[in-house]
Amino acid sequence: MIEFTKQKDFFVGIDSDGCVFDTMELKHKECFIPQFINYFELQGVSKFAREAAEFVNLYSKSRGCNRFLALMEQLDWLAKRPEVVARQANIPRLASVQQWIDSETKLGNPALQQAVEAGDDADLARTLAWSQEVNQTVAKIVRNVPPFPHVRSALEKLFSQADMLVVSATPNEALETEWNDHDVAKYVRAICGQEAGTKKETLALAADYEPSHRLMIGDAPGDYQAAQTNDCLFFPINPGAEEASWQQLSTEGIERFFSGAFAGDYQQQLLDTFDRYLPENPHWLTNA
C-alpha cells in the first residue's frame, strides 16, 4: 500500500483517463482494439469486435472499467451478436481468465504474470501478451494529449485545501508519464494505478477525512460506485462534455465542496445529468 497521511482538511480522488486527460478515444481505438482483434483472432468479425469494444469501454455504463473485466464483457457482447453467430465465428470465452478475475483482487499485469508462470494455460498467456502489447502500443502512440481545459485552474483551487490522489485503473507507469509530462503531478500526493488495487480499494484512503470533506472526480459509473462505497461525494466529468464539466467544477463545484454546500440537491442534480450520458444497451440492440 502507498504512503499517504492526512495533511489538509479535504480529500479529493481524481480519475485520469477520460477525466483529466482526453485519452480514452485514442487509447481504445488505436491501442486496445487493434490488439484485441489481433490477439483473440477476431479478424473475420473485426467490425463487430470493434463495436463491442467501443461500446464497453467508451459508450456504456462500463466505461472506464478495468481492462480485464472489459475484455470479458466485450467478448460476451460479441458472442451474442446475431451477425457474429451467423458467421459462425469462433469467439474465445477465456474461462481461465474469468477464474483469475474471480480470485484475484489486483487485476494488473504483475498478478497475471504470476498466474501465467504458475500454470500452463494458453488463454491466460494470450491475455497477458495482449495486455503487455497494449501497454507498449500506448507508450508508442499516446503523446501530446494535454489535460482538458479548466483542469489546471480546478486543481490549483483544490490544492489550497485538499490532499489529492490519482485513483485510476491504468498502469502506474503510464500514469506517472502523463501526469509528469503535463506538469500536473505536482498537485497530487500520490498516483495510484491498477497495481495499487481497484478504485474502491484505493479510495479507502479517504476514511481519515470527514465524509463531507471527501470528493471523487471521475467520468465513469465505476468511479461513482467507488465513491459511494467509500462515502465520498462525486463530481462527474460528463463523457463528451468534459470541458463544460471542468468549468462547472472550477467555477462552482469546488466552492460548494469547501463550503459544505455540495451534498443533497446539488449532488443529485449532477448525478441525474451524468446518468443520461451513457446507455445500458448497445445501439445494435436498441435500433434493432
Positions touching Mg ion (CB under 5 A) are 15, 17-19, 64, 219-220
From the centroid of its chain, how far is CA 33?
16
Nearer to Mg ion, 64 or 92 (CB): 64
Question: Could you tell me the smallest distance in angstroms from the CB atom of residue 90 to Mg ion?
Answer: 32
Question: Could you tell me the smallest distance in angstroms from the CB atom of residue 239 to Mg ion?
Answer: 9
Q: Are 1 and 195 in contact (CB under 8 A)?
A: no
Nearer to Mg ion, 22 or 104 (CB): 22
The DSSP result for 39-92, as a single string, is HTT-GGGHHHHHHHHHHHHTSSTTTT--HHHHHHHHHHHHHH-HHHHHTT----
Nearer to Mg ion, 45 or 216 (CB): 216
Q: Are 3 and 205 in contact (CB under 8 A)?
A: no
- Kindly state the helix (H) or strand (E) to which residue 235 belongs, with its residue range: strand 233-236
β pairing state of 233-236 and 162-167 = unpaired
Strand, coil or helix: 132: helix
State how far the Cα of 127 lies from the Cα of 47, in Å rounded to an integer.
Answer: 21
Question: Could you tell me the smallest distance in angstroms from the CB atom of residue 236 to Mg ion?
Answer: 11
Q: Are 227 and 64 in contact (CB under 8 A)?
A: no
State how far the Cα of 21 lies from the Cα of 243, in Å rounded to an integer.
Answer: 11
Question: Could you tell me the smallest distance in angstroms from the CB atom of residue 46 to Mg ion?
Answer: 26
Nearer to Mg ion, 163 or 223 (CB): 223
Question: Could you tell me the smallest distance in angstroms from the CB atom of residue 220 to Mg ion?
Answer: 5
Nearer to Mg ion, 64 or 282 (CB): 64
Nearer to Mg ion, 19 or 227 (CB): 19
Question: Could you tell me the smallest distance in angstroms from the CB atom of residue 237 to Mg ion?
Answer: 8
Question: Could you tell me the smallest distance in angstroms from the CB atom of residue 67 to Mg ion?
Answer: 12
Nearer to Mg ion, 24 or 115 (CB): 24
From the centroid of its chain, how far is CA 189?
20
State how far the Cα of 117 lies from the Cα of 119, in Å rounded to an integer.
Answer: 6
